[in-house]
Amino acid sequence: MIRHDNPSLDQHLQGEIIDTTYTLDLKFLDNQPPISRNDWLCDFLGGRRVVHVGCADHPSRIDQKIRDGTHLHRLLLDNCESVVGLDLHEDALNHLRNEHGMSGIYQFDLMKQTKEDIPFAFEEPYDFLVLGEIVEHIDNPVAFLERIGTEYGHLFNEIVVTVPNAYSSTHIKRWGNGFEDINSDHRFWFSPYTIARVVTAAGYTVRSVHMANISYRTDIVSRLYNRFMATIGSDKRRLHPARFGETVILVASR
């Protein structure tokens, strides 16, 4: 959960209080976060029924990701009780069907089509709807998430949203060196508070926020320590604090 000493956090998230100097204490973030976003999602969603939005991934990267074991939809299929996928890109979906034998994946535009158009619209509600690195690509993320809740809310019980962290150790280092590294299709950067604010404005209740893709510390002492621990076969490593993770993961309900 988002634990905070200030009991007015919900009022801030709901826009009832506007404070230009508000401070969110990030101690609520996991003390020992996982290194991989995919590992976190597979562990959290394991054995659950899932709707995966944006299931295809970038067409040019699908084959490599499947070979590397990093294609999220493939991993969800291996770990969840039941998974269906939605994506805009028919060519990518056809590639997954024809080259990788995936079924239960459908071309669908959540902003233009309606619930009656979804093949599984009248099945039992799924446990989670997953939006992995989707919201930062959307022109109006509040309207997008709001429509998902009002038009398709009967399809799922809770929602999982993952977004890049504006304050990750990698981005801060590159920014300090005078560069902004970004997917050129991104419209927004998010932090734990701002993605929680967007999701709340769209009509959801935030249940928890986590960080993933934590980088190893790169100072010389940490590098030597990490190398030594690897040599002796230990999994212990010196990592950056959770707040510097590459990915923010948010779980919410309606």
- Helix (H, G, I), strand (E, B), or coil: what is residue 189? coil
Say which amino acid occupies 136: E
Distance CA 215, CA 237 (A): 10
Long-range contacts of 37-41 (CB under 8 A, 24+ apart): 37/132, 37/162, 37/212, 37/213, 37/246, 37/247, 37/249, 38/70, 38/72, 38/75, 39/212, 40/210, 40/212, 40/249, 41/72, 41/75, 41/76, 41/130, 41/132, 41/160, 41/162, 41/249
Distance CA 92, CA 159 (A): 24
Distance CA 246, CA 173 (A): 12
- Read off the pLDDT band of 135 (50, 70, 90): very high
Mean pLDDT of 40-60: 94
User: Does residue 47 have a pLDDT over 60?
Assistant: yes
The mean pLDDT value of the chain amounts to 91
129 close to 53: Cβ distance less than 8 angstroms? yes
Question: Which tens digits make up the pLDDT trace of 181-199?
Answer: 999 999 999 999 999 999 9
Question: Which tens digits make up the pLDDT trace of 202-254?
Answer: 999 999 999 998 877 777 887 788 788 888 988 888 877 889 999 999 999 98
Question: Which tens digits make up the pLDDT trace of 5-19?
Answer: 566 888 899 999 999
Whole-angstrom CA distances from 124 to 14, 115, 159, 162 are 30, 14, 16, 25
Question: Which tens digits make up the pLDDT trace of 81-114?
Answer: 999 999 999 999 999 999 999 999 999 999 999 8
Question: Which tens digits make up the pLDDT trace of 168-185?
Answer: 998 998 999 999 999 999
- Helix (H, G, I), strand (E, B), or coil: what is residue 48? coil
Domains and their CATH numbers in the chain = 32-167+188-215+246-253 (3.40.50.150)
